[in-house]
Amino acid sequence: MTARRITECEPVATTGGRQTLATRSTRWMGGRLALSNELGHWLQTTLADPAHDEAEMRRLEPLLALQRERSALPSVGQLLIERVAARDGEHLFVYPFAGRLVHEGLGALLALRIGRVAPATLAFGVNDYGVLVSAKRLPDLDADAVRRLFSPLNLREDLLDGIGVGELARRQFREVARIAGLVFAGHPGHDKSIRHLQAGTGLLYDVLAQHDPTHILLRQATDEVLERTFDIRHLQSCLEELAHRELVMTRPAQLTPFAFPLWSEWIRGGLSTEDWETRVQRLAADLDRRAG
């Protein structure tokens, strides 16, 4: 899913009798919305047992057959986890079907917790259906270790401890302090600059953090960052649901149809003079050659 903009023009009469066009624009941020539990379960049910009388599913069947051959198709109540060793490192693919925004928080959380198992330099990528965590070498993870990675316990503390929420909260505190009346934003038509406000609220944040770290406004700024950046409420409910799913852990010899879109999103962040589409096509051809 990606953001789409739908624009509609309609005539509006003016005082001179002429008609002009007024534009109404609606923006759909589908890629940022969390998939509901019902939709996520429906997707898993459909992919695990597709209706072959639908044209879309008939077109997908070759890919789904390849997914079954190389790994597995997760049903409702199952969590598919794939571990793939490639030339660029080891990759852990997880498919919760919870939406991109939840997966961004989950990816950061998994990278943090895997790093606690064994020191490593980790990176993660996400799409609407899954999460990828990569390293030069991932630690060995049995079923019990994987369960601990998805534990809903200490979620807030882990996010605060390892993902640099403090600096984000410091920036968010500017808006919290303005609404609370701690800073003067200027008279109407003579607003103070953002740089001026940030300097003032930054000083307030530092003083409160040093002398009153439990202050309610500091907690408000942190809560807003956790909600907006990591969608912590949906992430918490997602972890609670994953704790009850059956783990399906596989080790495919190469990337699966589920894994390839995640992997291609992950390499998108690298520096290259080739355009992304050319790189993906070349890498896909290389994978096909090695598969043959």
In contact, 252 and 70? CB cutoff 8 Å: yes
Residue with tokens 């997880």: 94
Residue with tokens 């940022």: 32
**How far apart are the C-alpha atoms of 150 and 147, rounded to whole Å?**
5
20 CA to centre of own chain: 42
Q: Positive or negative, the Cα torsion across 66, 68, 69, 72?
A: positive
What SS3 class is residue 222? helix
Nearest to 241 by CA among 8, 50, 38: 38
CA 215 vs CA 57, 133, 177, 222: distances in Å: 54, 35, 12, 11
**How far apart are the C-alpha atoms of 49 and 42, rounded to whole Å?**
11
**How far apart are the C-alpha atoms of 101 and 128, rounded to whole Å?**
8
Residue with tokens 């060793």: 85
For residue 138, what pLDDT is reported?
A: 93
In contact, 64 and 132? CB cutoff 8 Å: no
* Residue 12, strand partner residues: 20
For residue 164, what pLDDT is reported?
A: 65
For residue 270, what pLDDT is reported?
A: 46
For residue 1, what pLDDT is reported?
A: 40
For residue 198, what pLDDT is reported?
A: 62
For residue 7, what pLDDT is reported?
A: 47
For residue 2, what pLDDT is reported?
A: 42
In contact, 133 and 110? CB cutoff 8 Å: yes
| Mean pLDDT estimate for the chain | 78
State the Cα angle at 68 between 65 and 69, rounded to 5°. Answer: 85
pLDDT tens-digit map of 238-270: 999 999 999 999 999 989 999 988 988 776 554
Tokens representing 188? 């109407």
For residue 6, what pLDDT is reported?
A: 44
Q: pLDDT of the chain along its 292 residues, tens only?
A: 444 444 455 554 555 555 555 556 555 555 555 567 678 778 888 887 776 677 888 888 888 889 999 999 988 889 999 999 988 789 999 999 988 888 888 998 999 999 999 888 888 989 888 999 999 999 999 999 999 999 999 998 888 876 666 677 777 877 788 788 777 666 666 566 656 566 667 788 888 888 888 889 888 888 888 888 778 888 999 999 999 999 999 999 989 999 988 988 776 554 444 555 665 666 566 555 544 5
For residue 30, what pLDDT is reported?
A: 56
For residue 178, what pLDDT is reported?
A: 78
pLDDT tens-digit map of 210-225: 888 888 988 888 888 8
- This prediction's pTM: 0.72
In contact, 28 and 7? CB cutoff 8 Å: no
For residue 214, what pLDDT is reported?
A: 87
pLDDT tens-digit map of 37-49: 678 778 888 887 7
What amino acid occupies position 66?
L
